[in-house]
Copies of this chain bind each other. A is one copy, B any other.
């Protein structure tokens, strides 16, 4: 069942009855393959679908006048975008595939009907949006100090990858170059490199290529005051 990653994600947001699960699994969808660096949604486009990442990573990003890029959001398997479709508004930023991705397109009307049938689904969409917003606030909050921002980002990505079932112990894969990480934090790739090496020296982090390893999660979290609650505002 291809929509499995979405179900997994939704299950972290709300408690799904088997009826809700049925509603979701009966959603009509089509799966598209998107090659890395290709856009899933372009600036100015008015999405008529809700998009769910099934495999791979995608990112919200904007380009500046000088050509530099800033990533303003990341989507891991199970994450969706284009909920935005409810508003008929044009995209003020783009969403691009970071790696080759499988993406499910679900018709906006079908989503609206599903929300009618399973109100808890509407609640889940709200929660997902609020988490997106909470993440943006954290990124803004941590943007003062590159080292702290990096540590916090890695804590966040580790946690999100873990929730998506993409970790092995304290090891995980981040399919971004150091330049990509820089675009996330708003620093140059050179500075990204130095910050990473520093964390490695301090034994808060280890990495080889795009494989990352956190020797001591508590220590890394402590270094950047990371507290995971904002990622799953799930309490019911």
Contacts and interface: CB of A to CB of B under 8 A. Distances in A.
Given A87-B130, A123-B86, A233-B87, A65 B141 contact: no
B139 A235 contact: no
Nearest to A135: B136
B62 A235 contact: no
A185 to B, nearest CB: 10
Given A129-B133, A133-B132, A89 B233 contact: yes
Interface of A: 60, 62, 64-65, 68, 70, 72-73, 84, 86-90, 92-93, 123, 126-127, 129-130, 132-134, 136-137, 139-141, 143-144, 186, 225, 229-230, 233-236
A228 to B, nearest CB: 11
Given A89-B235, A130-B84, A236-B88, A72 B229 contact: no
A124 to B, nearest CB: 10
Given A88-B236, A235-B88, A133 B134 contact: no
B140 A140 contact: yes
Contacts of A126: 86-87
A28 B82 CA distance: 33
Nearest to A187: B144
Contacts of A68: 144
B64 A141 contact: yes
A128 to B, nearest CB: 10
A89 B234 contact: yes
Contacts of A92: 134, 137, 229-230, 233
A65 B225 contact: yes
A141 B229 CA distance: 25
A139 B140 contact: yes
**Best-buried of A60, A89, A139, A235 by chain B (most CB within 10 Å):** A89
Contacts of A136: 133, 136-137, 140
A137 B230 contact: no
A16 to B, nearest CB: 16
